[in-house]
Structure 1
Amino acid sequence: MNVNDYILKEIKPLRLKDTIKKAQKVFKNYPITHFPVIENDKLLGSFAEVDIQTIENKGNELVEYSYLLDSFFADEKATVLELLKIFADNDTNIIPVLNQNKDYIGYFDLRDVLDVFSTSPFMIEEGETLIVERSKDDYSMSEVVQIIETNGATLLGLYISDKKSDITQVTLKIISDEINEIMQTFRRYDYKIISMHENDIYLEDLKNRSEYLQKYLEM
């Protein structure tokens, strides 16, 4: 799916000569956190609603508050993951989009990008979510993929869900009828299984041993 199909132009950008009153009206009419400002098709930045709504002199022009402009944007070739990062980093629900000539051509809405991501095979395909971790120095993405594929499973996708100074944690989406075999293989390679799974043979064995030890101690 081409994310460019979701570039919107419904909301017209403001200019620095526009008044605070006009900007506040735009924020009132649209559920957006930021509003792009352009001159000669070039993006100058975006005003945040929280900043504009605190300005009392509604007759002043935006140019007097240009120091409040936030600088963030996406190019038209941005991927969904890149867009999600921009949304998160700037705490926004709208991202201005520039073409290869750095001209403003529209904006992305967070809801549309989330819809694109939620309809990807990684999200909608039925599968098992497995979270594993290993020491950062020993972790290998190629090894993770090999473990899954040698067990006859299909890997829908993976991402590094946590990374500390000493460990790397990976979240996997897998299609397999033998998830226990995959988990046991990961354990043999010194990976720790973080996610909980029903009928985990390893955990069942530990539970049985623990119950046996408890009964022995109570004798």
Structure 2
Amino acid sequence: MQAYEFINNLIPPLKLNDKVALALNWMEEIRTDILPVVDESRFMGFVTEELVFSLNDPENTFANIPLENISCFVYQDKHIYDVIKVASEYHSNMIAVVDRENHYLGVVTMEDAISAFADSLSIQSAGAVLVLSMNMTDYSLSEISRIIESENTKILSSFLSSDPLDDSKIKLTLKLDKTELRHVKATIERFGYRILDHFQEEEGVNGEQERIDNLFRFLQI
């Protein structure tokens, strides 16, 4: 799941000698509010719809305009996780992809990155989500898997983060292959694990927005 695999070839790059009017036309045609700018295969930064309107000068070129997020890029061999991390750091809906010689290859949109991330975490699969809290010293995915599998349930994916209720602990979010959690929850609690929350999902989740919503629930964003 490397960045270059998710390049969106429908997003064209602007050049430094292009006029602001062209950016507006492309944004309207592609239905985006951000476009990359390149100069002889070098990524120079992004131009946003907000920046374009603030200039109020359709004949101006991007060679005369300070571009945004000039460091909002990842190398082509970086994992999709790194794409999302960089996008979050720069609060950008688009991330440039370059090779190791810094030649521009294209962009990945946040929509595509989130879809890929959701796939990697089995968000689209039917099942349920279970959120546990524990000390880092008590964390053993193999032991937790053994407990869950004793109830004929399997872990499809897992995600570690800080516990919002206790900075000294971690939060383990698990995607399970069963929608019914009653017996699993009872068994986990019997082994001393604290359950923060759970989400029981419908069979056959469909639609891009539903997938994104489920991802946010999974990560507790």
Is the 8 Å Cα contact of residues 32 and 94 (structure 1) preserved in structure 2? no
Partner Cα distance (1:177, 1:32) in 2? 37
Counterpart for residue 57 of structure 1: 57
Pick closer, same or farther for the CA change 1:83–1:59 going to 2, 3 Å.
Answer: same
Counterpart for residue 131 of structure 2: 131
- Name the aligned partner's letter for residue 106 of structure 2: G
Partner Cα distance (2:69, 2:82) in 1? 22
Tell me by how many angstroms 1:72 deviates. Answer: 0.4
Among all aligned residue pairs of Structure 1 and Structure 2, give the percentage whose two residues are the same amino acid.
22
Tell me by how many angstroms 1:154 deviates. Answer: 1.5
Counterpart for residue 96 of structure 2: 96
Unaligned runs of 5+ in 2: 201-221
Unaligned runs of 5+ in 1: 199-219
Could you say what the CA RMSD is over the residues aligned between the two structures, in angstroms? 3.1
Partner Cα distance (1:83, 1:138) in 2? 31
Q: Secondary structure at the match of 2:123?
A: helix
Partner Cα distance (1:196, 1:12) in 2? 42
Structure showing greater radius of gyration is 1
Matches within 5 A, 1:174-185: 174-175=176-177, 179-185=181-187
Matches within 5 A, 1:42-191: 42-66=42-66, 68-120=68-120, 122-136=122-136, 138-149=138-149, 151-164=151-164, 165-175=167-177, 179-191=181-193
Is the 8 Å Cα contact of residues 130 and 195 (structure 1) preserved in structure 2? yes
Counterpart for residue 33 of structure 2: 33
Q: Which moved more, 1:53-62 or 1:189-198?
A: 189-198
Q: Secondary structure at the match of 1:60?
A: coil
Is the 8 Å Cα contact of residues 16 and 61 (structure 1) preserved in structure 2? yes
Is the 8 Å Cα contact of residues 74 and 95 (structure 1) preserved in structure 2? yes
Instruction: Provide runs of 4+ in structure 1 moved above 6 Å.
Output: none
- Name the aligned partner's letter for residue 108 of structure 1: V
Tell me by how many angstroms 1:104 deviates. Answer: 0.5
Tell me by how many angstroms 1:113 deviates. Answer: 3.1
Partner Cα distance (1:94, 1:104) in 2? 14
Is the 8 Å Cα contact of residues 3 and 116 (structure 1) preserved in structure 2? no
- Name the aligned partner's letter for residue 148 of structure 1: I
Q: Secondary structure at the match of 2:87?
A: helix
Pick closer, same or farther for the CA change 1:27–1:178 going to 2, 3 Å.
Answer: closer
- Name the aligned partner's letter for residue 169 of structure 2: I
Tell me by how many angstroms 1:16 deviates. Answer: 2.2
Pick closer, same or farther for the CA change 1:15–1:182 going to 2, 3 Å.
Answer: same
Tell me by how many angstroms 1:177 deviates. Answer: 8.7
- Name the aligned partner's letter for residue 8 of structure 1: N
Give the number of aligned pairs: 198
Partner Cα distance (1:124, 1:181) in 2? 23
